[in-house]
A and B are shown apart, each in its own frame.
Chain A
Amino acid sequence: MKITVNGTAQETAAETLDALLIEQGYGEAKVATAVNETFVPAALRPEQRLNEGDRVEIVAPRQGG
Chain B
Amino acid sequence: MPTYYDTEVTSRLMLGTAQYPSPAILAEAFKRSGAGIATVSVRREAGGERAGQAFWDMIGDLGVHVLPNTAGCHSVREAVTTAQMARELFDTNWVKLEVIGHADTLQPDPFGLVEAARILTDDGFQVFPYCTEDLVLCERLVEAGCRVLMPWGAPIGTGLGLNNIYGLRSLRAHFPDLPLVIDAGLGVPSQAAHAMELGYDAVLLNTAVAKAGDPAAMAEGFARALEAGRLGYEADPMEPRDMAAPSTPVLGRAFT
Contact = CB atoms under 8 A, between A and B. Distances in A.
Contact of A37 (B45, B49, B81, B89): B81
Contact of B71 (A25, A30, A64): A64
Interface stretch (B36-44, B142-150, B217-225, B246-254): B36-44
Contact of A61 (B19, B20, B42, B207): B42
Interface in B73-96: 77-78, 81-82, 84-86, 88-90
Contacts of B44: 6-7, 57-60
B156 interface: yes
Contacts of A31: 45, 52, 89
A13 to B, nearest CB: 15
Given A6-B46, A29-B45, A32-B42, A62 B81 contact: no
Interface string B126-150: 0000000000000000000000000
Interface residues of B, number: 40
A39 B82 CA distance: 8
B247 to A, nearest CB: 44
A26 B51 CA distance: 11
B16 interface: yes
B166 interface: no
Most chain B C-beta atoms within 10 Å of own C-beta, residue among A26, A31, A39, A65: A65
A57 B157 CA distance: 27
B81 A61 contact: no
11 contacts: A29-B49, A29-B50, A32-B89, A39-B85, A59-B43, A59-B89, A60-B42, A61-B59, A63-B19, A64-B68, A64-B71
Interface of A: 6-7, 21, 24-26, 29-34, 37-39, 41-42, 57-65
State the 8 A-B residue pairs at the shortest beta-carbon distance, nearest first.
Answer: A60-B52, A64-B41, A25-B47, A65-B206, A65-B16, A32-B85, A60-B45, A24-B47
Interface of B: 16-20, 39-53, 55-56, 59, 68-69, 71, 77-78, 81-82, 84-86, 88-90, 156, 204, 206-207
